[in-house]
Structure 1
Amino acid sequence: MTDQVEVKPEGAATTAETPDGVQVAIQRVYTKDVSFEAPNVPEVFQDQNFKPEIKMEMNSKSRKVADDFYEVVLSITLTAAQGEKTAFLVEVQQAGLFGIRGLDDAQLRHLLSTFCPEVLYPYARETISSLINKGGFPPIYLAPVNFHELFQAQMAQAAAEQQNAE
Protein backbone atom coordinates (compact mmCIF):
# COMPACT_ATOMS: atom_id res chain seq x y z
CA MET A 1 0.00 0.00 0.00
CA THR A 2 1.36 3.42 -0.94
CA ASP A 3 0.44 6.57 0.93
CA GLN A 4 -0.31 9.56 -1.26
CA VAL A 5 1.10 12.83 0.02
CA GLU A 6 0.30 16.11 -1.65
CA VAL A 7 2.88 18.78 -1.00
CA LYS A 8 2.61 22.27 -2.35
CA PRO A 9 5.79 24.31 -2.79
CA GLU A 10 4.01 27.58 -1.94
CA GLY A 11 4.62 26.88 1.76
CA ALA A 12 8.35 26.48 1.32
CA ALA A 13 10.41 28.24 3.95
CA THR A 14 13.55 28.41 1.84
CA THR A 15 13.93 27.92 -1.90
CA ALA A 16 17.08 27.99 -3.96
CA GLU A 17 17.28 27.71 -7.72
CA THR A 18 20.42 27.53 -9.78
CA PRO A 19 20.76 28.76 -13.38
CA ASP A 20 20.65 25.14 -14.63
CA GLY A 21 17.15 24.61 -13.15
CA VAL A 22 18.03 22.78 -9.95
CA GLN A 23 15.58 23.64 -7.19
CA VAL A 24 15.87 22.86 -3.49
CA ALA A 25 13.14 23.93 -1.08
CA ILE A 26 12.90 23.25 2.65
CA GLN A 27 9.19 22.60 3.13
CA ARG A 28 9.10 21.75 6.81
CA VAL A 29 11.37 20.73 9.71
CA TYR A 30 9.85 18.65 12.50
CA THR A 31 10.63 16.29 15.36
CA LYS A 32 9.44 12.82 14.36
CA ASP A 33 10.32 10.96 17.57
CA VAL A 34 11.99 11.82 20.87
CA SER A 35 12.86 9.85 23.99
CA PHE A 36 14.68 10.66 27.23
CA GLU A 37 15.48 8.07 29.90
CA ALA A 38 17.37 8.53 33.16
CA PRO A 39 17.20 5.06 34.74
CA ASN A 40 19.62 5.70 37.62
CA VAL A 41 18.37 9.04 38.87
CA PRO A 42 18.71 10.24 41.64
CA GLU A 43 21.64 7.95 42.50
CA VAL A 44 23.90 9.34 39.75
CA PHE A 45 23.39 12.87 41.15
CA GLN A 46 25.10 11.79 44.37
CA ASP A 47 28.40 11.14 42.59
CA GLN A 48 30.58 14.22 43.24
CA ASN A 49 32.87 13.34 40.31
CA PHE A 50 30.14 13.10 37.69
CA LYS A 51 32.04 12.88 34.42
CA PRO A 52 30.09 10.48 32.25
CA GLU A 53 31.41 8.75 29.16
CA ILE A 54 29.31 10.00 26.24
CA LYS A 55 28.60 7.76 23.27
CA MET A 56 26.84 9.10 20.17
CA GLU A 57 25.32 7.15 17.30
CA MET A 58 23.97 8.95 14.27
CA ASN A 59 22.44 7.98 10.94
CA SER A 60 20.12 9.39 8.36
CA LYS A 61 17.67 7.94 5.93
CA SER A 62 15.49 9.37 3.22
CA ARG A 63 12.43 8.38 1.28
CA LYS A 64 10.46 9.82 -1.60
CA VAL A 65 7.00 10.90 -0.41
CA ALA A 66 5.70 12.50 -3.63
CA ASP A 67 7.04 13.69 -6.97
CA ASP A 68 10.10 15.84 -6.21
CA PHE A 69 9.48 15.68 -2.42
CA TYR A 70 11.62 13.73 0.03
CA GLU A 71 11.52 13.13 3.76
CA VAL A 72 14.92 12.96 5.44
CA VAL A 73 15.20 11.67 9.02
CA LEU A 74 18.34 12.29 11.07
CA SER A 75 18.48 9.91 14.05
CA ILE A 76 20.79 10.61 16.97
CA THR A 77 21.19 8.49 20.09
CA LEU A 78 23.28 9.87 22.94
CA THR A 79 24.15 7.67 25.91
CA ALA A 80 25.89 8.92 29.05
CA ALA A 81 27.35 6.29 31.37
CA GLN A 82 29.02 6.80 34.73
CA GLY A 83 30.97 3.60 35.26
CA GLU A 84 28.56 0.72 34.73
CA LYS A 85 25.44 2.85 35.25
CA THR A 86 23.58 4.67 32.51
CA ALA A 87 23.03 8.26 33.59
CA PHE A 88 20.76 9.09 30.65
CA LEU A 89 19.82 8.02 27.17
CA VAL A 90 18.45 10.49 24.60
CA GLU A 91 17.05 9.49 21.23
CA VAL A 92 15.91 12.07 18.69
CA GLN A 93 14.61 11.66 15.17
CA GLN A 94 14.70 15.09 13.56
CA ALA A 95 13.03 15.14 10.16
CA GLY A 96 12.45 17.44 7.27
CA LEU A 97 10.48 17.58 4.07
CA PHE A 98 12.47 18.83 1.09
CA GLY A 99 11.34 19.70 -2.41
CA ILE A 100 14.13 18.81 -4.83
CA ARG A 101 14.04 19.07 -8.60
CA GLY A 102 16.54 18.91 -11.45
CA LEU A 103 19.19 16.49 -10.12
CA ASP A 104 20.34 13.15 -11.46
CA ASP A 105 20.32 10.12 -9.11
CA ALA A 106 23.92 10.55 -7.90
CA GLN A 107 23.45 14.26 -7.21
CA LEU A 108 20.16 13.60 -5.43
CA ARG A 109 21.75 10.94 -3.23
CA HIS A 110 24.57 13.32 -2.36
CA LEU A 111 22.15 16.14 -1.48
CA LEU A 112 19.92 13.86 0.63
CA SER A 113 23.00 12.57 2.50
CA THR A 114 24.74 15.89 3.10
CA PHE A 115 22.75 19.10 2.70
CA CYS A 116 19.51 17.80 4.24
CA PRO A 117 21.12 16.35 7.41
CA GLU A 118 23.13 19.59 7.75
CA VAL A 119 19.84 21.50 7.84
CA LEU A 120 18.36 19.12 10.45
CA TYR A 121 21.40 18.75 12.74
CA PRO A 122 21.12 22.11 14.57
CA TYR A 123 17.49 21.34 15.43
CA ALA A 124 18.45 17.90 16.76
CA ARG A 125 21.33 19.43 18.79
CA GLU A 126 18.97 21.91 20.41
CA THR A 127 16.39 19.22 21.23
CA ILE A 128 19.04 16.97 22.77
CA SER A 129 20.57 19.80 24.80
CA SER A 130 17.15 20.86 26.08
CA LEU A 131 16.16 17.32 27.10
CA ILE A 132 19.43 16.76 28.97
CA ASN A 133 19.04 20.09 30.76
CA LYS A 134 15.43 19.31 31.71
CA GLY A 135 16.64 15.96 33.06
CA GLY A 136 18.76 17.85 35.60
CA PHE A 137 22.13 17.08 34.01
CA PRO A 138 24.89 19.51 33.06
CA PRO A 139 24.57 20.75 29.48
CA ILE A 140 26.19 18.82 26.66
CA TYR A 141 26.89 20.63 23.43
CA LEU A 142 27.38 18.41 20.42
CA ALA A 143 30.17 19.41 18.07
CA PRO A 144 29.39 20.32 14.48
CA VAL A 145 29.41 17.43 12.00
CA ASN A 146 30.84 17.54 8.48
CA PHE A 147 28.26 15.51 6.56
CA HIS A 148 30.14 15.96 3.28
CA GLU A 149 33.20 14.28 4.80
CA LEU A 150 31.08 11.46 6.23
CA PHE A 151 29.44 10.91 2.84
CA GLN A 152 32.81 10.79 1.07
CA ALA A 153 34.10 8.26 3.63
CA GLN A 154 31.01 6.08 3.12
CA MET A 155 31.42 6.22 -0.65
CA ALA A 156 35.12 5.31 -0.37
CA GLN A 157 34.31 2.40 1.95
CA ALA A 158 31.58 1.12 -0.37
CA ALA A 159 33.96 1.33 -3.35
CA ALA A 160 36.67 -0.54 -1.43
CA GLU A 161 34.21 -3.26 -0.38
CA GLN A 162 32.99 -3.61 -3.96
CA GLN A 163 36.56 -3.86 -5.25
CA ASN A 164 37.43 -6.49 -2.64
CA ALA A 165 34.33 -8.51 -3.57
CA GLU A 166 35.44 -8.72 -7.22
Structure 2
Amino acid sequence: MAEETESGETVAGQGQPQIRMQVLAQFIRDMSFENMVAKKGVSSGDVQPDIQIAVSLDARKRPVDHQYDVISKYRCTSKNKTNGETLFLLEIEYGAIFHVEGVPDEQLHPFLLIECPRLVFPFVRRIISDVTRDGGFPALNIDTVDFVTLYRQELARRSQAAQAQTAVN
Protein backbone atom coordinates (compact mmCIF):
# COMPACT_ATOMS: atom_id res chain seq x y z
CA MET A 1 0.00 0.00 0.00
CA ALA A 2 1.29 3.46 -0.88
CA GLU A 3 1.90 6.02 1.84
CA GLU A 4 1.98 9.78 1.63
CA THR A 5 4.84 11.85 3.07
CA GLU A 6 4.45 15.28 4.68
CA SER A 7 5.25 16.94 1.35
CA GLY A 8 2.44 15.00 -0.33
CA GLU A 9 4.68 12.61 -2.29
CA THR A 10 3.51 9.03 -2.62
CA VAL A 11 5.95 6.36 -1.50
CA ALA A 12 5.20 2.79 -2.61
CA GLY A 13 6.60 -0.40 -1.12
CA GLN A 14 8.15 0.96 2.07
CA GLY A 15 9.22 -2.57 3.10
CA GLN A 16 11.36 -3.15 0.00
CA PRO A 17 15.03 -2.18 0.16
CA GLN A 18 16.04 0.81 -1.93
CA ILE A 19 18.69 0.09 -4.53
CA ARG A 20 21.43 2.67 -4.50
CA MET A 21 24.09 2.75 -7.20
CA GLN A 22 26.72 5.41 -7.64
CA VAL A 23 29.72 5.61 -9.97
CA LEU A 24 32.66 6.64 -7.81
CA ALA A 25 35.33 6.62 -10.53
CA GLN A 26 35.93 5.66 -14.15
CA PHE A 27 39.30 4.98 -15.71
CA ILE A 28 41.20 3.34 -18.54
CA ARG A 29 43.09 0.48 -16.92
CA ASP A 30 44.92 -0.56 -20.08
CA MET A 31 44.72 0.39 -23.74
CA SER A 32 46.65 -0.30 -26.92
CA PHE A 33 46.05 0.67 -30.52
CA GLU A 34 48.06 -0.80 -33.37
CA ASN A 35 47.77 0.73 -36.82
CA MET A 36 48.99 -2.10 -39.07
CA VAL A 37 48.43 -0.03 -42.21
CA ALA A 38 51.07 2.46 -41.06
CA LYS A 39 53.38 -0.32 -39.82
CA LYS A 40 53.23 -2.53 -42.93
CA GLY A 41 52.35 0.04 -45.55
CA VAL A 42 49.19 -1.72 -46.76
CA SER A 43 47.80 -0.04 -49.87
CA SER A 44 44.55 1.74 -49.15
CA GLY A 45 43.07 1.07 -52.59
CA ASP A 46 41.88 -2.48 -51.90
CA VAL A 47 40.64 -2.03 -48.34
CA GLN A 48 37.27 -3.51 -47.38
CA PRO A 49 37.23 -3.55 -43.58
CA ASP A 50 35.67 -6.39 -41.63
CA ILE A 51 35.40 -5.36 -37.99
CA GLN A 52 35.07 -7.83 -35.13
CA ILE A 53 34.29 -6.73 -31.55
CA ALA A 54 34.85 -9.01 -28.55
CA VAL A 55 33.63 -7.99 -25.11
CA SER A 56 34.38 -9.55 -21.73
CA LEU A 57 33.49 -8.44 -18.23
CA ASP A 58 34.83 -8.88 -14.74
CA ALA A 59 33.67 -7.64 -11.34
CA ARG A 60 35.34 -7.79 -7.95
CA LYS A 61 34.48 -6.74 -4.44
CA ARG A 62 36.66 -3.95 -3.06
CA PRO A 63 37.89 -3.90 0.57
CA VAL A 64 35.39 -1.10 1.34
CA ASP A 65 31.78 -2.14 2.10
CA HIS A 66 29.40 -1.95 -0.87
CA GLN A 67 32.13 -1.03 -3.37
CA TYR A 68 32.95 -3.02 -6.51
CA ASP A 69 35.40 -2.81 -9.41
CA VAL A 70 33.79 -3.57 -12.75
CA ILE A 71 36.12 -4.00 -15.73
CA SER A 72 34.89 -4.07 -19.34
CA LYS A 73 37.36 -5.40 -21.90
CA TYR A 74 36.90 -4.61 -25.57
CA ARG A 75 38.97 -6.02 -28.44
CA CYS A 76 38.24 -4.37 -31.78
CA THR A 77 39.92 -5.95 -34.79
CA SER A 78 39.62 -4.62 -38.32
CA LYS A 79 40.75 -6.92 -41.13
CA ASN A 80 40.73 -6.42 -44.86
CA LYS A 81 38.04 -8.68 -46.39
CA THR A 82 39.99 -9.09 -49.62
CA ASN A 83 43.21 -10.55 -48.16
CA GLY A 84 42.60 -11.02 -44.42
CA GLU A 85 45.36 -8.62 -43.37
CA THR A 86 44.82 -6.82 -40.09
CA LEU A 87 44.26 -3.09 -40.53
CA PHE A 88 44.12 -2.14 -36.86
CA LEU A 89 43.76 -3.67 -33.43
CA LEU A 90 42.35 -1.78 -30.45
CA GLU A 91 42.27 -3.31 -26.98
CA ILE A 92 40.89 -1.40 -24.04
CA GLU A 93 40.17 -2.32 -20.44
CA TYR A 94 37.81 0.25 -18.99
CA GLY A 95 37.20 0.22 -15.27
CA ALA A 96 34.68 1.77 -12.97
CA ILE A 97 34.28 1.74 -9.22
CA PHE A 98 30.67 1.46 -8.08
CA HIS A 99 28.97 1.88 -4.74
CA VAL A 100 26.02 -0.54 -4.74
CA GLU A 101 23.55 -1.04 -1.89
CA GLY A 102 20.17 -2.71 -1.59
CA VAL A 103 20.66 -5.39 -4.25
CA PRO A 104 19.86 -8.87 -2.91
CA ASP A 105 22.89 -11.19 -2.84
CA GLU A 106 21.42 -13.57 -5.42
CA GLN A 107 20.98 -10.65 -7.85
CA LEU A 108 24.28 -8.89 -7.21
CA HIS A 109 26.37 -10.83 -9.77
CA PRO A 110 24.06 -10.10 -12.73
CA PHE A 111 23.58 -6.53 -11.52
CA LEU A 112 27.34 -5.91 -11.53
CA LEU A 113 27.86 -7.52 -14.95
CA ILE A 114 24.79 -6.07 -16.68
CA GLU A 115 23.71 -2.76 -15.18
CA CYS A 116 27.14 -1.40 -14.25
CA PRO A 117 28.76 -1.91 -17.70
CA ARG A 118 25.60 -0.59 -19.35
CA LEU A 119 25.93 2.64 -17.38
CA VAL A 120 29.54 3.33 -18.44
CA PHE A 121 29.24 1.97 -22.00
CA PRO A 122 28.71 5.39 -23.66
CA PHE A 123 32.07 6.55 -22.28
CA VAL A 124 33.88 3.48 -23.67
CA ARG A 125 32.16 3.88 -27.03
CA ARG A 126 33.37 7.48 -27.20
CA ILE A 127 36.96 6.48 -26.40
CA ILE A 128 36.92 3.75 -29.07
CA SER A 129 35.53 6.22 -31.60
CA ASP A 130 38.12 8.87 -30.77
CA VAL A 131 41.09 6.47 -30.75
CA THR A 132 40.24 4.92 -34.12
CA ARG A 133 39.66 8.35 -35.67
CA ASP A 134 42.87 9.75 -34.17
CA GLY A 135 44.66 6.60 -35.38
CA GLY A 136 43.94 7.45 -39.01
CA PHE A 137 40.75 5.46 -39.63
CA PRO A 138 37.09 6.43 -39.80
CA ALA A 139 35.64 6.72 -36.29
CA LEU A 140 34.45 3.30 -35.10
CA ASN A 141 31.05 3.81 -33.46
CA ILE A 142 30.31 0.39 -32.00
CA ASP A 143 26.73 -0.75 -31.61
CA THR A 144 25.18 -0.88 -28.17
CA VAL A 145 26.22 -4.05 -26.37
CA ASP A 146 23.42 -6.32 -25.13
CA PHE A 147 24.87 -7.05 -21.69
CA VAL A 148 21.94 -9.32 -20.75
CA THR A 149 22.66 -11.65 -23.70
CA LEU A 150 26.40 -11.47 -22.99
CA TYR A 151 25.75 -12.47 -19.36
CA ARG A 152 23.50 -15.38 -20.39
CA GLN A 153 26.09 -16.62 -22.90
CA GLU A 154 28.78 -16.58 -20.20
CA LEU A 155 26.52 -18.54 -17.81
CA ALA A 156 25.85 -21.12 -20.56
CA ARG A 157 29.58 -21.37 -21.34
CA ARG A 158 30.40 -21.92 -17.66
CA SER A 159 27.66 -24.54 -17.36
CA GLN A 160 28.99 -26.44 -20.38
CA ALA A 161 32.54 -26.24 -19.03
CA ALA A 162 31.37 -27.60 -15.67
CA GLN A 163 29.50 -30.45 -17.38
CA ALA A 164 32.55 -31.29 -19.47
CA GLN A 165 34.70 -31.27 -16.35
CA THR A 166 32.36 -33.65 -14.49
CA ALA A 167 32.24 -35.94 -17.54
CA VAL A 168 36.04 -36.14 -17.53
CA ASN A 169 36.13 -37.04 -13.82
TM-score (norm 1): 0.78
* Partner SS state of residue 114, structure 1: helix
Structure 1: where are the runs of 5+ without partners?
Answer: 1-17
How far did 1:157 drift? Answer: 4.5
**Greater Rg, structure 1 or structure 2?**
2
Equivalent AA in structure 2 for residue 58 of structure 1 = V
* 2:26 is the counterpart of 1:32: no
Distance 2:37 2:136 in 1: 12
Q: Deviations over 1:11-38 (max 9, x none)?
A: xxxxxxx952332111122222211111
| Secondary structure in 1 matching 2:106 | helix
Gaps in structure 2 of 5+ consecutive residues: 1-13
* Native 8 Å contact 1:77 1:91 kept in 2: yes
Which residue is 1:15 aligned to?
none
Say if 1:94 and 1:123, in contact at 8 Å, map to a contact too. Answer: no
1:71 is matched with 69
C-alpha RMSD of the superposition: 2.2
Q: Does 1:61 align with 2:58?
A: yes
Tell me how far apart the structure 2 counterparts of residues 137 and 51 of structure 1 sit (CA, whole Å): 12
Q: What pairs up with 1:70-149 in 2 under 5 angstroms?
A: 70-82=68-80, 83-149=83-149
The 3-state SS of whatever aligns with 2:30 is: strand
Deviation at residue 105 of structure 1 after TM alignment: 2.6
What's the CA shift for 1:50?
A: 1.8
Query: Does residue 155 of structure 1 match 2:155?
Result: yes
Report sequence identity in percent: 26
Distance 1:84 1:143, change over 3 A: same
- Cα distance in 1 for partners of 2:60, 2:110 equals 14
Q: Which of the residues 14, 20, 24 maps onto 1:23? A: 20
Q: Distance in 2 between matches of 1:135 and 1:157?
A: 35
Question: Helix, strand or coil: the match of 1:129?
Answer: helix
Distance in structure 2 (CA, Å) of the matches to 1:107 and 1:129:
33
- Report the residue type matching 2:75 in the other structure: T
Q: Does the 8 A contact of 1:53 with 1:80 survive in 2?
A: yes
Number of equivalences = 148
Higher mean C-alpha deviation, range 52-61 or range 153-162: 153-162
Q: Tell me by how many angstroms 1:163 deviates.
A: 6.1
